[in-house]
Amino acid sequence: MLFGWFIGLSMDVPDWDVTVFTKNRDRLLRGEVASKFFAAVLADPQVKPPLSLELFSVDGTLIEAWASMKSSRLKDGSGAPPGPGRNRGRDFRSEKRSNETHASKIDPDARLARKSNGQASKLCYAGHVVMENRHGLVVAATTTRATGTADRDAGKTMMAGLDRAPRSTLGADKNYDTRNFVEALRDLGVTPHVAQHTNGRRSAVAGQNTRHPGYAASQRIRKRIEEVFGWGKEIGSMRRTLRRGLERVGWSFTLRVAAYHPIRLLKLLAAPA
């Protein structure tokens, strides 16, 4: 009764079946509603003028897939099957798992990944955002399979399609300090303000870039991008997706990133000019 009253149904109308929600979800996917909502917020006359077209930051985060590690099986079909029962066990002893040899039977698009060395691998997706540095608003977002080069590949793609000034800068952490990524940014006319990775190898970032005052400012401000992921995982249920498949996970991620904008805009638009 409360549900029917909340959505405006009369007392003699039956409640919606679950298939109604699944059909609506499919319509949202086909209509690209999440990306259109994301773009509409940024195009608002009150939002677009203050956006920076020159200073940006990029980063990515892992999103746990809605699939258990027990669903990870050898691609060739060999290996012992899960045990009997409702919560079937799976013995991974002496079995080395990798994305080349294993895939999830529940969510084939998910990939084994870990946040850092020493941590356990999990089935994940990778979410990526580009933030403008003036007000900390996200101007591009995408979701990919969690591969070793996903962050850098997504960063290049997002910057290539971004509406920006001819000479702009991009701040990033040490994970982006590779020759391929830095040269790709220069080809796009973007100055790489990437943190130098000097542990055991030579950095791809030129020393003349690091001596510029803007480099230090980019390195300081780029850390603000963690606020987007922090809000998304603690408030926006971004830590572990409830969807399966890259398309649905990407739709959910983009919608949650777009929902972060009103949080920032309430403070920005209320602040005195």
Dump pLDDT digits (tens) for 97-155: 888 888 998 999 999 998 888 788 899 999 999 999 998 999 999 999 999 999 999 99
- Rounded Cα gap, residues 203 and 177, in angstroms: 7
Structure token pair of residue 241:
């997706």
The answer to whether the pTM exceeds 0.75 is yes
Largest Cα–Cα distance of the chain, in whole Å?
Answer: 73
Q: pLDDT-derived band of residue 3, with 50, 70 and 90 as boundaries?
A: confident
| Strand extents, DSSP E, the chain | 55-64, 72-74, 102-104, 111-113, 122-132, 137-145, 168-172, 190-194
- The pLDDT value recorded for residue 273 is 56
Among the listed ranges 68-72, 142-146, 186-190, which one has the minimum average pLDDT value?
68-72
Domain ranges (residues) in the chain: 28-67+123-270
- Rounded Cα gap, residues 142 and 11, in angstroms: 43
- Rounded Cα gap, residues 191 and 156, in angstroms: 13
The CATH homologous superfamily of the domain defined by 28-67+123-270: Ribonuclease H-like superfamily/Ribonuclease H (3.30.420.10)
- Rounded Cα gap, residues 161 and 105, in angstroms: 34
